[in-house]
Structure 1
Amino acid sequence: MKYERIRNLREDRDLTQTDIAKYLHISQRTYSRYENDERAIPIEILSLLADFHYTSTDYLIGRTDIKKPYPQKPSKNKNA
């Protein structure tokens, strides 16, 4: 699987791999392996990346070309 979009999004924001790795609480080397498709990205990390870049996991993995995240459903508040 190609993860070129996570590199493109990072570079578009002028961030380093180290910047993203710190946000994810992983090493820069691990993050580099994700970007270079040397290691599969765990779903938890993929979800954090989608949130960080304001997009969907489907966009990150190339299942859609729509960069905008899916709309959030309003949460049901039991105390309302």
Structure 2
Amino acid sequence: MFWDRFYDLCVSKGTKPNPVAKDIGISSGILTKWKTIGSLPNGETLIKLADYLDCSVDYLLGRTDNPEVNR
């Protein structure tokens, strides 16, 4: 679920996962783990991704279907 949401958000923002990862300091190897074995990012990385993609951490993790950030 995480990978699909992450990928879809990247595409909706006009980018792909590799440039996003590079911008927030994540290796392509980590992306591969997320995609192939379904591992999840740590808390700090989730926050960076959510901020970058302008969505909630809960949305990235599939805990809600609402991508809006509660601010």
TM-score computed with the length of structure 1 as normaliser: 0.74
Q: Percent identity?
A: 28
Larger Rg: 1
Compute the RMSD of aligned alpha carbons: 1.5
Q: Secondary structure in 1 aligned to 2:64? A: coil
Gaps of 5+ in 1: 72-80
Residues 1:33 and 2:33 aligned together: yes
Alignment of 1:1-80 (within 5 A): 2-3=1-2, 4-34=4-34, 36=35, 38=37, 39-71=39-71
Q: Secondary structure in 1 aligned to 2:47? A: helix
Q: Secondary structure in 1 aligned to 2:14? A: coil
Letter in 2 for 1:12: S
TM-superposition CA deviations, 1:3-41 (whole Å, max 9, x none): 11001001112212221111121212212322x152221
The structure with the largest helix share of the pair is 2
Aligned length: 69
TM-score computed with the length of structure 2 as normaliser: 0.82
Instruction: Identify the structure with bigger relative contact order (alpha carbons < 8 Å, sequence gap 6+).
Output: 2
